[in-house]
Chains A and B, each alone.
Chain A
Amino acid sequence: MIESEIKIINKLGLHARAAAKLVKLASSFDCEIMIRREMENDNQKTVNGKSIMGVMMLAASKGTDIFLIADGDDEQLAIEQLEFLIKARFEEDE
């Protein structure tokens, strides 16, 4: 299992279109993919990275740190490509 922390940097955050791209990419891997966000009062929210409703419910705006967790044979590639997508601002202009 691999866990990676990454910041959401695009202007609109993990909004619907960004979530759809992330889920589409995550769903292309065999490994299990979860995404965790630390909330207020030390609470956490962990969702299935292959579920569009789950990812949207994270409501991760710009500046939010999230944790990508991948578990399976192609976990390394999954984390690398998901990180690339997020760092590329989900191919948005800002």
Chain B
Amino acid sequence: MSVGLLLITHKNLGKVMLETVKVVTEDQKKVVGIIEVDWECDPEKIFDQAKIKIQELDSGQGVLVLTDLYGATPCNISNRLFAIPNVRVVTGLNLPMLFKVFNYSDQKLEQLVEKALDGGRAGVMAITKS
């Protein structure tokens, strides 16, 4: 049993990132929930969908929700999910964050939050001559 993972992003951002990580790590088996938030979406409907997905993904270890942009609709919807017990939300989803979460997928929920934050931040740097 491991922590469930749900990506809530603008359109298919999360889906494409997930596909990239799965191809690179050759891990096609990992179950990850995806919710695509379209420009014309109804946030209430998305919220209801997300609650159902969380129930499906939670095998007893909680669910980590990764969303893309603080203050935008996907994140605003995700914020409301934080009220559900054993759900944590991290925003600023990028590929390094998702790689890190995959790499440490057997960790407990609170540790996985820290891994998500570490990965997301560590992957941002300016390229210098080396």
Point out residues on A near B: beta carbons under 8 Å.
16-17, 20-21, 23-24, 39-40, 51-53, 56-57, 59
Contact = CB atoms under 8 A, between A and B. Distances in A.
30 contacts: A16-B24, A16-B99, A17-B23, A17-B24, A17-B26, A20-B24, A20-B25, A20-B26, A21-B26, A23-B103, A24-B25, A39-B130, A40-B129, A40-B130, A51-B103, A52-B25, A52-B99, A52-B100, A52-B102, A52-B103, A53-B96, A53-B99, A53-B100, A53-B103, A53-B119, A53-B122, A53-B123, A56-B99, A57-B122, A59-B130
Nearest to A17: B24
A17 B122 CA distance: 19
A56 B21 CA distance: 13
B116 to A, nearest CB: 12
Contacts of A56: 99
A48 to B, nearest CB: 10
The 3 closest A-B pairs by CB, nearest first: A16-B24, A20-B25, A52-B103
Interface of A is mostly: helix
Nearest to B96: A53
Given A20-B26, A53-B96, 8 more contacts: A16-B99, A17-B24, A20-B24, A21-B26, A52-B100, A53-B99, A53-B119, A53-B123
Interface of B: 23-26, 96, 99-100, 102-103, 119, 122-123, 129-130
Contacts of A40: 129-130
A57 B96 CA distance: 11
Nearest to A15: B24
A51 B107 CA distance: 14
B98 to A, nearest CB: 11
A15 to B, nearest CB: 9
Contacts of B103: 23, 51-53
The winner among B123, B129, B130 for most chain A CB atoms within 10 A is B130
Contacts of B129: 40
